[in-house]
Amino acid sequence: MKPKVYAAMTISKEVENFLSEHCELRMWREGGRVPDEVLFEEISNVEGLYTSGSASSQIDEALLERAPHLKVVSNVSVGYNNFDIEALRKRNVIGTHTPHVLNETVADLAFGLILSTARRIVELDRFVKDGKWLSTTEYSDTFGQDVHKRTLGIIGMGRIGEAIAKRARFGFDMDILYHNRSRKPEAEAHYDAQYCELDVLLSKADFVLLMTPLTPQTYQLMGKEQFKLMKKSAIFINVSRGQTIDEQALIEALETGEIYGAGLDVFEQEPIDPSNPLLQMSTVVTVPHIGSATAKTEAAMAMRAAENLVAVLTGKDPLDPVYK
């Protein structure tokens, strides 16, 4: 008998076919986040759960106790802050995620945010389209900041951080500072990246880019004090998770001119509340958590998550476990 699996999201035909070859598959087809009452009902007899941070609620004790046969939870994302690792460990449930396949795609987006905030691309696109481009002489109103040859501070030098450093060093001739739990000798050798304490990075960087996973240690890593340390001309980029910063502190730093601007892929609340002051600021560029959102990369992540799930359910080691 094939193991039962619930996918808390709609999946492509290709992934559906692959999963169905190995599992008895049921799926949430309505779009959006699966309601808890549906999820709890569906997982009561499954061995595998296919999900992501935005597809279903937290994978915690309350959920796991409703899924007594569960062996594996496979996340379609590299971040797995939706997992309570201790709860999974206690119940011998394997958690998996999808690293590697999205590194370059997320790095592209991070760079897009750097460029669009520094050169005011979104704001000036609106300016042109609103018919405000009436004179070619008063163009100092359109001045932005250079990106090339400036200093990029990367907080969280993991695989994606390194992909960003590569672009910055070789594409834009930037100096790289980084702060990380541990030193990265290879990044230092390849990209001439210089390790420094967080305070030093914040005070020296022209662009501060947050790329750290969300953990209890990184929760609100950037707060009032940290934004104060940044240069007034500096731009803050967040491609990690909304909760790694104190969003109110960021709003105040922008409102009071403590920093110049921000490029944000992630927010405290997602989807963001339309009344959030960040949405009214011309120096802030916002995108709806699309770090990995290209068709090719999303397909690769979806298949990798399916392979992780099937590996465990067919008695093999998962490809990408979140804990050992």
Catalytic residues: 241, 270, 289
Site stretch for ligand DGY (CB under 6 A), options 30-38, 73-81, 179-187, 216-224? 73-81
- Burial class of residue 70 (count of CB atoms within 10 Å of its CB; 0-12, 13-18, 19+): buried
Interstrand relation of 261-264 and 284-286 (parallel, antiparallel or unpaired): parallel
* Nearest distance in Å: CB 187, ligand DGY: 20
163 touching ligand DGY, by CB under 6 A: no
Task: Confirm or reject binding of residue 77 to ligand DGY (CB under 6 A).
Answer: yes
* 171, burial (CB in 10 Å: exposed 0-12, middle 13-18, buried 19+): exposed
List the interface residues with ligand DGY, window 271-290 (CB under 6 A): none
CB-nearer residue toward ligand DGY: 12 or 20: 12
In the complex, what is the shortest distance from the CB of residue 224 to ligand DGY, in angstroms, rounded to a whole number?
25
When binding is defined by CB under 6 A, the residue of 292, 302, 307, 318 that contacts ligand DGY is: 292
Comparing CB distances to ligand DGY, the nearer of 44 and 54 is 54
Q: Which residues pair with 83 in a beta bridge?
A: 59
Q: How many CB atoms lie within 10 A of CB 133?
A: 12
Q: What is the DSSP string of 255-308?
A: HTTSSSEEEES--SSSSPPTT-GGGG-TTEEE-SS-TT-SHHHHHHHHHHHHHH
CB atoms within 10 A of CB 288: 12
Q: Does 78 bind ligand DGY (CB under 6 A)?
A: yes
Task: Kindly give, in sequence order, each residue whose CB lies less than 8 Å from that of residue 218, ignoring residues fewer than 6 positions away.
Answer: 156, 212, 240, 244
Scan residues 82-111 and list those touching ligand DGY (CB under 6 A): 102, 106
Out of 95, 153, 158, 291, which residue is the one contacting ligand DGY (CB under 6 A)?
291
CB 245 → ligand DGY: shortest distance, Å? 15
For ligand DGY, the binding residues (CB under 6 A) are: 77-79, 102, 106, 291-292
